[in-house]
Amino acid sequence: MRTLLTGGVKSGKSRRALELAADFPAPRSFLATATAFDDEMRDRIGRHRAERAGAFDTVEEPVDIDRALRASMILDCIPMWLNNLFYQGREAEWEGILDRLVAALPRDIVIVTNETGMGVIPADPVSRRYGMVLGLANARLAAAADRVELMVAGIPLKVK
């Protein structure tokens, strides 16, 4: 089943993704978009790898996620992917990559994203563009998903 998990930071999305993907047929893959740009991210990536504990083949791809899709996969996470595009000056490519990703979605996938637009409107133009693009990307992914869950305080709420 194609599932989109969304919610706030540290709301239990990654843990829920592992729960859902445990039922996928083997081999299972984990598409990681994060890059270890500082000690905190290195530690976070290390904790996530330990949580997966060899149950998934890890594919690291920070930008071209459409080319890294596999069957039985977790894609974690859309906000970091967009951050990487913005940081690398490739912001204009997000729609094409997302279109190709949606067209090639495997039957069994869990996509992790964040709801960042539920707070204040950012003061700077780049942050406002980022929030707008993330909202549009989330809407496209939700439309393509069979199931959408919103994680609130570690509890999955069915949206679709």
Return the active site residues.
48
Half-sphere exposure of 41 (CA within 13 A, CB side): 8
Backbone phi, psi, residue 157, to 5°? -110, 130
CA distance 117 to 127: 11
Sign of torsion over alpha carbons 15, 88, 72, 45: negative
Position of tokens 């970091």? 80
Position of tokens 């000056």? 89
Two tokens, residue 26? 């083997």
